[in-house]
Amino acid sequence: MLHLLHRQRVVHLLRTEGPLARADLADRLGLSRPSITTLVGELIEDGTLVELDSRVEGPGYRGRPRKLLGCNPHARRVLGIWIDERRARIAVADATGNITHEDETPTAGRAAASVIRSIIRIAKQLIEDPAVESVAAAGICIPGFIDSTTGFVVESKSLGWSEVELGQPISHALGVPTAVLDSTQAMTLAETIAGEAREVRSALVLNCGGHVDVGLIIGGRPYSGATGVAGAIGHMPIAGSEAQCLCGRTGCVDAGMSLHAMQPVAPQTEGLPLKDIDLDAVAQDTSRNPTAQKIIRDVIDRIAHTAILAEALFDPEVLILSGLITEFEDLIVALESRIDEIRPPERRGRTTTVRSHIGRDYRVAVIVALQQLDPDIAGLLRTPAS
C-alpha cells in the first residue's frame, strides 16, 4: 500500500506542478534517489509517465542535463462514479486524474436498481465515445456501510439502500474491475495521496456534511479497521440526545452534528443543490435570528467536542476538516475557533487543524479507480467481473 501511495504522489506532483526531473521528485517527496528511479521506471513502463524532450540545464548548472518527466496524455482511462442522496456523477479520467468526459443522473426518490441501470447506461455512452480511449478500471464512492472487498452496500441510510449489489453488476456490464468505497474512506485515501495528509504519518479526517464520519490515517496510509468500517460514527447513539435522525432512529450523531441538524435555520434550502443556494442571503438571515444562531452554535459545539475526543484517542499530527461544511466560510471558521477554544492545554501544539482542499465529488472516485491500476493492491480492491 505504501508503494502505491508513493506512486500516486509522484503522479499527482507531476500533474499539478510538473514537468520535473527525478532529483526534484526525490527532494519534494522526501524519498531516496533509488526509490524515485524505481517508481518512475514502473510508471514509464506502464504508460503513466513519459520522458520529455526538454532538459534541465542553464547558467550556473553543473553536471549532466537532467531529463524532465511529465504525465502521458494518452495514459489508460478510468471511470469515477460518485453517488450521494441527490445524484450520481460519472466521469472519465486519464491515469493522471484529468477529467475528460462527465455526466450525471438523479438518485433522490429512486430505487437502487433504477440508479444502477442509469449509471451503466451513462457509463457505456461515455466509454463508447470515439474520443475516449479504453477504460481500464472503475471506482465508486457512496456513503454508508460498504463491504469494499465485494463492492456490496450493506447499508446506505443517506440513499435508503440496504443489501445492494453495486460493484459486481457495474463491473460485469462494463467489463472492467470496479472498486467500491465509503465516501469518507475514499476522501481519506485522497487526502493521503494528494491532500493535507500526504506528508504526515498520522491524520484524522472529520467529514462533516449531510452526515458525519471519521477517516483515519495511521503510519502514512489509510486505516479502515478490521471489517472495513472504521470511523463510521454517523448512526452511533449519543446519550441524552432526542434529535430525530433521517434514518428513523433517535439520537444519532448525524441528527445532532451534521448540516441536516442546522436545516431548521434555512428551511427554504431543503433539497436544493449547493450551487442553487444564495449563501450570502442565508448568512444575513441567520445573523439576524437569535434562535437560528443558537442552533448553529449548538451544532458547531457538538462537532468540535467530537473532533477533540477523536483527536485525544488517536493523537494525530493533523486534524483535517472535510466535507460540505468547508464550503460555508462562516461555519468552518466557527468550527476551527471552537476546536481551538476547547482543546485542553495538554493537547495544544500536538495536533494541527487544517481544512481539506479535496473536492467531494467524482474526482475522489477517480482516485479510487486509479488504485486498481497498481498491482500491489489490485487484488484487495477488485470486484470480480463475473
All domains of the chain in start order, with CATH: 1-71 (1.10.10.10), 77-187+362-373 (3.30.420.40), 199-355 (3.30.420.40)
* pTM listed for this prediction: 0.79
- Percent with pLDDT over 70 in the chain: 87
Band the pLDDT of 52: cuts 50, 70, 90: confident
Whether the predicted pLDDT of 381 surpasses 60: no
Cα→Cα distances 382→27, 201, 314, Å: 33, 26, 30
Rounded distance, CA 212 to CA 210, Å? 7
Strand, coil or helix: what is 282?
A: helix
pLDDT confidence of residue 65? 64
Residue 19: asked if its preceding bond is cis (omega within 30°), the reply is yes
Average pLDDT over residues 191-219: 90
Cα→Cα distances 12→82, 167, 245, 319, Å: 20, 26, 39, 22
Angle, vertex CA 222, rays to CA 77 and CA 5, nearest 5: 45
Eight-class DSSP state of 288: T
Rg (CA), the chain: 22
Q: What is the mean pLDDT of the chain?
A: 85
pLDDT confidence of residue 99? 85
Nearest to 188 by CA among 125, 124, 231: 231
- Per-residue pLDDT of 216-263, as tens digits, reads 999 888 898 888 888 999 999 988 888 888 888 899 999 999 888 887
For 366: left if phi > 0, alpha if psi spans -120 to 50, otherwise beta; the answer is: alpha
For residue 19, how far is the Cα from the chain centroid?
A: 25
pLDDT confidence of residue 61? 46
Please count the residues of the chain. Answer: 386
Average pLDDT over residues 169-187: 93
Whether the predicted pLDDT of 106 surpasses 90: yes
pLDDT confidence of residue 272? 60
- Per-residue pLDDT of 258-298, as tens digits, reads 888 887 777 776 666 656 666 677 777 777 788 888 989 99
- Per-residue pLDDT of 115-164, as tens digits, reads 999 999 999 999 887 777 788 889 999 998 898 888 999 999 889 999 99
Compute the CA torsion angle 317, 318, 319, 324 (nearest 10 deg).
Answer: -160
- Per-residue pLDDT of 58-102, as tens digits, reads 544 455 667 898 888 777 788 999 999 889 999 998 766 778 889
